[in-house]
A and B are shown apart, each in its own frame.
Chain A
């Protein structure tokens, strides 16, 4: 298509709006309600432009390019119209915004206005010190508020944690309402009332805590004014530096931008271009980074227990004590519990130290018990390799999504955003599990089951499908005949009765899966655990084959996949990690080296206990030595996210106190014990050895890592129907009691009044 903008001839191939095209070509058109990625709203009218041949002015943000269009974006008449519109908006906006637009107005003056503000019912800064609305005032230069001002009469809402809402500054652009609805799937905010009372709010003006709000902060980040204010932000405390990192609080691997002032983290926001998160984050990444890094329970000096009490000491002494104990202990009496929250470098150093230095086989971490680990174990026993890598965006291709038990919005926020996007595009979500989740609202049905009943449901569906006329496609897949045979013994009516479902409902569900292919099955570790785990996995595998299903095993630690790939490499025999965890809780080892706090210690688990962690917690009571580890903000390294995407992160701040990165602690310890092969000087050194040795990482270079690369894995799995029997009885994965894990965010949110409510629902 050919178009002309301000006399400039332009060529366009994609369907796009005039505003997007203008932005792309560096032509400025003012806009307010427009926000990239949201459905055009055309509410504010500040982007009005003239299209030749059309009588009325058109909003650039909502007008799509047509062939031959001749557009004018900047004439005195247009500016005048826009200015008048801005003056109208200002009539409902704090009049002082006009003063604020003066670039000469210094921050301290603004703060003085702000001091006086509460009395006048206003607080005048935009939360990021970067007010979009002020820029519009600068550009359109209204002289004065032309209309009687209605501002300043609304009470500032300060009754929520983390953010305040000052609707005196709201310009009704609706960005917050739309991001909450269109992107987050929460709709905690809505337009309420009408006429001069019209505003943004919640049902009955409740606080956000009493809505489904997830405190993701998305509304804060899109608000162009100071209406939504981050509680911890202050107009005088502005960052001097910003640095990106990868959030390590869960397995999504969101890219965050950390704002620093004098080397300290002020706040964090989702990076706009983050490859996984694209400008979104969750409560933890958005609000709790600085809380986690500077948490009062951080341990920053090595500690050794003397006369029953932990006392601070030097690295030299602490490492000497550990070295001596470990040297004197037979390898089979030593156990190591790793952390799936650590970087690949930390985990590699630890596993190498354990496996090759100490030569113990007793190494396990949470990474060994995730859905991914179980799926791989299962498939291998059937004689094939499953693919574990996926892209979150792959889920978007599914027309039916079946979700097991997880409260996705909390546990896998980015996966949830994709699922929600697909729902908006017409996909159906089916939730299977015992509890009603807050995302139930977006699902087309909820199959209420007791845990352990999943396979019954899945096999029932398989049976219906294999008996139906639709079986033709799947009949071509290996092992179908045997599979169908086995299904003969399965009694549908009996299963329906024990599930408490009408047979009718099962039929309908099966039909949905058949009609709306491809499908996706999202499941976490719970589905694979315990005595029913094997049957569940087999049933899932088979149903997925019948319905062009994508199996999406979910894990929640920031580096679960990395941990499991690395420890699988060092594990000599196929030693079942479940036995090790069991052994630790039974006290079968003499010496225990625990990293992180995903394991909960109930009693002293071994004669000598070393804890390498960033925090003191209940587990510390049983430690003989504590080795303080940095958090992700103080170190560099790599994580593998839930998709199998390897991403690097750089150090953002100096280590707190004497804390050190995990790989460095291990290297020093190994050197103290006289072991060779630990002369790593940097995380890159470790990474280099890691990529040379661990197959999944072969040949991946650090320089490739911007945006992330995927781990190596076998080309495609052999597609064949599986039997559950082959897996049954093999080391049923233990369900591990959750440890006092700060990173999971639960402990932290308990510190903030009432916030735990969100995490639970």
Chain B
């Protein structure tokens, strides 16, 4: 879908910004940096304002993401139960810091802040599949399965 078409379907005021960015991200998998100018113009905003909202909201990303998205919860409950160590382990194994995508562009590692299922934390989600009570020892097998995830 091209940007112009998405813009046409969107309203033109400031309150339409977040929904519009969601639509763009849904269509492209990320918000292409070149689209910012068009979005700003369409909503009568400045590019800085659009960028401000985009960079504040963790959901949006300017770089294309891998097909496999591994999300490690760092919310309070998961954090207390060692979520931090899970991320570190993942970072080590994948060789990328959280927030980035592997060199082969296949897998992105992300942090989340509470996924709403604190009772079973630490939680890891791979493309919608939840893993509960994750320990550092389980990281290898999760990543193994992740490679074949759709």
**Mask: chain A, 544-579; 1 = CB below 8 Å from B; 0 = not:** 000000000000000000000000000000000000
A193–B52 Cα distance when bound, in Å, is 7
Complex alpha-carbon distance, A198 and B53, angstroms: 11
Q: Are B55 and A194 in contact (CB under 8 A)?
A: yes
Tell me if A189 and B48 are in contact (CB < 8 A): yes
Q: When chains A and B are docked, how far (Å) is the Cα of A188 from the Cα of B40? A: 12
The residue that B48 contacts in the complex, of A190, A193, A442, with Cβ under 8 A, is A190
**Separation of A189 and B33 alpha carbons in the complex (Å):** 18
Residue ranges of A at the interface with B (Cβ–Cβ < 8 Å): 181, 186-194, 198, 201-204, 211-212, 441-442
- Pairwise interchain contact B44-A211, C-beta atoms closer than 8 A: no
Residues 36-52 of chain B, each 1 if its beta carbon lies under 8 Å from chain A, else 0: 10001100111111111
Known: A187-B46, A204-B33. A441 touches B52 (CB 8 A): no
CB pair A191–B52 under 8 Å, yes or no, is yes
Q: Nearest-CB distance from B19 to chain A (Å)? A: 19
How many whole Å from A188's CB to the nearest CB in chain B? 6
* A10-B77 Cα distance, complex, nearest whole Å: 50
Query: CB-CB < 8 A to A194: which residues of B?
Result: 55-56, 58
**Sample of 18 A–B contacts (CB below 8 Å):** A186-B46, A187-B48, A188-B48, A190-B48, A191-B56, A192-B51, A192-B52, A192-B55, A192-B56, A194-B55, A194-B58, A201-B48, A202-B51, A203-B48, A203-B51, A204-B51, A441-B44, A441-B46
Q: Which of B33, B44, B46, B50 gathers the greatest number of chain A CB atoms within 10 Å?
A: B46
In the complex, the answer to whether B44 meets A442 with C-beta atoms within 8 Å is: yes
B11-47 contact mask (Cβ, 8 Å, vs A): 1 or 0? 0000000000000000000000100100011001111
Asked if B56 and A203 sit within 8 Å, CB to CB, the answer is: no
Chain B min CB distance to A190 (Å): 3
CB atoms of B41 and A190 under 8 A apart = no
Extra contacts besides A190-B46, A204-B36 (13): CB < 8 Å: A181-B49, A192-B55, A192-B56, A193-B55, A194-B58, A198-B56, A202-B51, A203-B36, A203-B48, A211-B47, A441-B41, A441-B44, A442-B44
**Nearest-neighbor residue (CB-CB) of A194 within chain B:** B56
Tell me which residues from 37 to 80 in chain B have a Cβ below 8 Å from any Cβ of chain A: 40-41, 44-52, 55-56, 58
Q: Give chain B residues whose Cβ lies under 8 Å from the Cβ of A202.
A: 47-48, 51
List B contacts of A187 (CB < 8 A): 45-46, 48-49
A204 CA to B44 CA, complexed, in Å: 19
Chain B residues with CB under 8 Å of A192's CB are 48, 51-52, 55-56
**Cα distance A592–B73 when bound, in Å?**
82
- B56 partner residues in chain A, CB cutoff 8 A: 191-194, 198
Contacts of A191 in B (CB 8 A): 52, 56
How far does the alpha carbon of A442 sit from the alpha carbon of B44 in the complex, in Å? Answer: 6
Chain B residues closer than 8 Å to A190, beta-carbon distance: 46, 48-49, 51-52
Which B residue's beta carbon lies closest to that of A193?
A: B55
Chain A nearest Cβ from B40, distance in angstroms: 8
The distance in angstroms between the C-alpha atoms of A189 and B48, with both chains bound, is: 6
Q: How far is the CA of A193 from the CA of B48 in the complex (A)?
A: 11
Bound complex: CA A198 to CA B55 (Å): 9
A190 to B51, CA, bound (A): 8
How far is A190 from B17 in the complex, measured between Cα atoms in Å?
15
Question: CA separation between A389 and B23, bound complex, in Å?
Answer: 51
0 or 1 for each of B76-89: is its CB under 8 Å from A? (1 = yes): 00000000000000
Would A188 and B52 count as touching, CB distance under 8 A? no
Rounded to whole Å, the gap between the CB of A433 and the closest CB of chain B is: 18
Instruction: Check A212/B46 contact, CB under 8 A, given A203-B36, A204-B33, A441-B41.
Output: yes
Q: Is the pair B48, A441 in contact by a Cβ cutoff of 8 Å?
A: no
**Chain B residues with CB under 8 A of A203:** 36, 46-48, 50-51
By a CB distance below 8 angstroms, the chain B residues around A188 are: 46, 48
Q: Who on chain B is nearest to A441 by CB?
A: B44
Q: How far is the CA of A201 from the CA of B51 in the complex (A)?
A: 9
Separation of A194 and B40 alpha carbons in the complex (Å): 20
Bound complex: CA A212 to CA B37 (Å): 12
A residues in contact with B47, CB < 8 Å: 202-203, 211
Most B-side CB within 10 Å, residue of A189, A203, A441: A203
Q: In chain B, what residue has the closest Cβ to A188? A: B48
Nearest CB of chain A from residue B38's CB, rounded to whole Å: 13
A258 and B40 alpha carbons, distance in the complex (Å): 38
Q: Are A211 and B52 in contact (CB under 8 A)?
A: no
Cα–Cα, bound, A202→B49 (Å): 8
Nearest residue in A to B37 (C-beta to C-beta)? A203
Q: What are the residues of chain B within 8 A of A201 when measuring CB–CB?
A: 48
